[in-house]
A and B are shown apart, each in its own frame.
Chain A
Amino acid sequence: MDTTEQKDAKVFRANALESEAIYIFREVVAQFEKPVLLFSGGKDSITLVRLAQKAFWPAKIPFPLMHIDTGHNFPETIEFRDRLVKELGVELIVRHVQDSIDQGKVIEETGKYASRNTLQTTTLLDAIEEFKFDACIGGARRDEEKARAKERIFSVRDDFGQWDEKNQRPELFDMLNGKIEIGQNVRVFPISNWTELDVWNYIEQEQIEIPSIYFAHKRNTFLRDGLIWSAEDEVVFRAQDEEVQERTVRFRTVGDMSCTAAVESTANTIEKVVAEIRESKISERGARIDDKRSEAAMEKRKQQGYF
């Protein structure tokens, strides 16, 4: 098979992080009945999709993607998501935070800092129960945040979705133990050991397509607390005295619009983005207002079932 290709084939030397991630994907498929890949349309989950493709080629990705839609997405992200899924021929499941609000399961926050980010947890846990997913693969990285730095690669959650941070399973060498009780769930993080720069380098190396909002573009914006917010959608609360100005910006992370700020940038190619990240004095999550709520914001969300 493909002997022509093998004639001039070279020796394969692994990129350690890439091989580790592929190994993790294969363990998930072998150890679980019903895995799902949590897909937000952001660069980390897009990287996961590429790694999953590599892990199972020439077969298709053997699990669906699931997007927990806050309803506050950047339109560019949704458009990108739908195109990617079509190209890959994989199933996409979408569950909406709005439905959880309509059912009275969660209450929309109000005020200046209102965000739907925390509300996602309920929608996610309901979806896990609905589809009986036993493994949820996510693009979290340990370098993102100090509570994330404590995360195992296979992270067991109880049937309420809770993370017991003080009693995590030991994880030795690369032996992953995914044995769980019915009702429990494992969150799996194949790119745990990657840094933000590793992800960007990989996107550049693999020429992976990403949504346009990651690149510099002109946008109507306003300033609050020293951060730049998009003024192009009503979901981002703006006070009357907060003045709208056109700026050349890009987004470094793609989260819920209401809690994701932009950065001033002229980087309009992947090479320029990588160069900019390399020089940056601000961390990726510096523009995520939801992490600034308290010293332990992420840990608390994770205990409640956030991914």
Chain B
Amino acid sequence: MEVLKIATAGSVDDGKSTLIGRLLYDTHSLTDDKIEAIRNSSRKKGYDYLDFSLATDGLVAEREQGITIDVAHIYFSTAERSYIIADTPGHVEYTRNMVTGASTSQVAIILIDARKGVIEQTYRHFFINNLLRIKDVIVAVNKMDLVGYDQTVFEDIKQNFERLNANSTYAEQNVSYIPISALKGDNVVAKSNEMPWYQGETILQHLGGIESTDVNEEGEVRFSVQTVIRPKTDEFHDFRGFAGKIKGGNLKVGDQVTVLPSMTTSKIESIYFYDKGYKEAEAGSSVTITLEDEINIARGDMLVKSNELPRVEKDLTATVCWMDSKQLRPGTRYVVQHNTNRVLSKIAEVGSVIATDFSGKKASDGTLGLNEIGEVKIKLSKPIFSDSYIANKSNGSFILIDEHSNTTAGVGFIN
């Protein structure tokens, strides 16, 4: 079945968990024992309503503090399709976990408390969805029940948000506005009787109409080799298959391909998925291909169509979101992982820090701290075969791995 991935964003107490709970509850995706567990925990906390955050906040520390620290993945489905919600934290200090959740999502729901309107946190959430180029953004104005379902409150917030949107660099982004009450269930799954002035879709209706295209389906074919399959059995003695996932476009038997970095060319001889051969395979497919010529190909090499070559560059300029408590400083070394390719790199320059309130770039002190986003120049020990993030999300992004701690310290979006 088709899967649509959603990231939620909102500040503390905007009602994210309640919204998720409501979506699950109203689509009958919660089983009786889970509802019972939520009811028990809610009662223990002295609430007279079902506190759905007890279901979505999976860690003890989260339930103690009543905040979301790390991404939880939550599943629900309708007869038409399956949904995965990445429930991401709203706090500034967990920006990295928010980026983690949003990176694989196709839609973002940004929650706004109708009583508070657009606040600083909203800027950051929208900015990150802009930066990641999430195609569809739903601005859900929540707690409409607490403002008497007043249309002017909703229209004011919508106008403020539109002013923010005017500064966006991503003009193709679809932003829609829905007035809801997650607690009462207005316009989440069922249409609200309290807001006759709103003629638009409910959140679920809107989600149902969004086309589910994966990050890997965008742009031209980029086939990054994960591993080489050599069975060396009697039956498949000479089989040399290149296993990987097709990112962008499609591959056909007979396509003329160029192998990077060697720049050797060959033709696609066969495309296998398990034990069946196919004449063509589409983006997003994990296939195994063989070529007509014997070429030395290893993990990290990339196959592309010969008329669709990527950039081959040794100097990267990228927007980097920093995720490590150790600052990013010029002169330090990191491993750049780009698709399945790993290259040693040196940070050349941290140019400027980008304000997440859309006020533009600011001069930096030459470093990037945890959860900061900035323009970074990186020197690579070997060239990578890249595209801009705008042209191809999976080939236009990379991670920076700390050589000492091995952690994923940052993520970059190639300019």
Cross-chain contact B58 with A149 (CB below 8 angstroms): yes
Cross-chain contact A23 with B270 (CB below 8 angstroms): no
Binary interface encoding of chain B residues 42-72 relative to chain A, with 1 for a CB under 8 A from any of its CBs, else 0: 0000000000000111111101000001111
Cross-chain contact A174 with B216 (CB below 8 angstroms): yes
Cross-chain contact A172 with B411 (CB below 8 angstroms): yes
Q: Which residues of B contact A10 (CB under 8 A)?
A: 278-279
Max count, chain B CB within 10 A of own CB: residue among A18, A165, A169, A197:
A169
SS class of chain A's interface: helix, strand, loop or mixed? Answer: loop
**Given contacts A13-B282, A16-B284, A172-B100, are A146 and B55 in contact (CB under 8 A)?**
yes
A193, B67: Cα distance in complex, Å: 23
Contact pick for B70, options A2, A54, A168, CB 8 Å: A168
Interface residue stretch chosen among B178-186, B197-205, B232-240, B258-266: B232-240
Binary interface encoding of chain A residues 20-47 relative to chain B, with 1 for a CB under 8 A from any of its CBs, else 0: 1011001101100000000000000000
A201, B82: Cα distance in complex, Å: 13
Q: Which residues of B contact A204 (CB under 8 A)?
A: none
Q: Which residues of A contact B269 (CB under 8 A)?
A: 1
Nearest CB of B to A26, in Å: 4
Interface residue stretch chosen among A75-83, A127-135, A267-275, A278-286: A278-286
**Given contacts A166-B61, A195-B75, are A9 and B31 in contact (CB under 8 A)?**
no
Contact pick for A170, options B241, B323, B398, CB 8 Å: B323
The 6 closest A-B pairs by CB, nearest first: A146-B58, A14-B285, A22-B286, A59-B231, A286-B33, A12-B278
A143, B227: Cα distance in complex, Å: 30
A171, B399: Cα distance in complex, Å: 9
Cross-chain contact A296 with B60 (CB below 8 angstroms): yes
Cross-chain contact A166 with B287 (CB below 8 angstroms): no
Contact pick for A146, options B56, B69, B245, B394, CB 8 Å: B56
**Given contacts A12-B278, A13-B285, A149-B58, are A179 and B406 in contact (CB under 8 A)?**
yes
Cross-chain contact A58 with B398 (CB below 8 angstroms): no
Q: Is A218 an interface residue (CB 8 A)?
A: no
A1, B34: Cα distance in complex, Å: 52
**Given contacts A150-B58, A175-B339, are A19 and B69 in contact (CB under 8 A)?**
no
Q: Which residues of B contact A181 (CB under 8 A)?
A: 406
A20, B282: Cα distance in complex, Å: 14
Binary interface encoding of chain B residues 218-255 relative to chain A, with 1 for a CB under 8 A from any of its CBs, else 0: 00000000110111010110010101110000100100
Q: Which residues of A contact B280 (CB under 8 A)?
A: 11-12
Q: Is A53 an interface residue (CB 8 A)?
A: yes
Q: Which residues of B contact A23 (CB under 8 A)?
A: 226, 245, 286
A175, B286: Cα distance in complex, Å: 15
Q: Is A147 an interface residue (CB 8 A)?
A: yes
11 further A-B contacts with Cβ under 8 Å, apart from A29-B227, A172-B397, are: A12-B271, A14-B282, A26-B227, A146-B56, A149-B74, A166-B69, A169-B407, A169-B408, A175-B398, A281-B32, A295-B63
**Given contacts A192-B73, A281-B32, are A1 and B290 in contact (CB under 8 A)?**
yes
**Given contacts A59-B230, A147-B59, are A30 and B277 in contact (CB under 8 A)?**
no
Binary interface encoding of chain B residues 284-295 relative to chain A, with 1 for a CB under 8 A from any of its CBs, else 0: 111110100000
Cross-chain contact A56 with B229 (CB below 8 angstroms): yes
SS class of chain B's interface: helix, strand, loop or mixed? Answer: mixed
Q: Is A6 an interface residue (CB 8 A)?
A: yes
Contact pick for B272, options A57, A148, A177, CB 8 Å: A57
A144-167, CB < 8 A from B: 145-150, 165-166
A6, B278: Cα distance in complex, Å: 6
A161-216, CB < 8 A from B: 165-166, 168-175, 177, 179-181, 192-193, 195, 197-198, 201
Cross-chain contact B97 with A9 (CB below 8 angstroms): no
Q: Which residues of A contact B365 (CB under 8 A)?
A: none
Q: Is A142 an interface residue (CB 8 A)?
A: yes
Closest chain B residue to A151, Cβ basis: B73
B1-57, CB < 8 A from A: 1-3, 31-34, 41, 55-57
Cross-chain contact B58 with A299 (CB below 8 angstroms): yes
Max count, chain A CB within 10 A of own CB: residue among B61, B279, B339:
B279
Contact pick for A150, options B1, B72, B299, CB 8 Å: B72
Q: Is A17 an interface residue (CB 8 A)?
A: yes
Contact pick for A281, options B31, B61, B279, CB 8 Å: B31
Q: Which residues of B contact A148 (CB under 8 A)?
A: 58
Cross-chain contact A174 with B270 (CB below 8 angstroms): no
Contact pick for A14, options B77, B253, B286, CB 8 Å: B286
Cross-chain contact B394 with A179 (CB below 8 angstroms): no
A283, B28: Cα distance in complex, Å: 12
Cross-chain contact A280 with B31 (CB below 8 angstroms): yes
Q: Which residues of B contact A299 (CB under 8 A)?
A: 58-60
Closest chain A residue to B30, Cβ basis: A283
**Given contacts A146-B55, A195-B75, are A5 and B406 in contact (CB under 8 A)?**
no
Cross-chain contact B394 with A173 (CB below 8 angstroms): yes
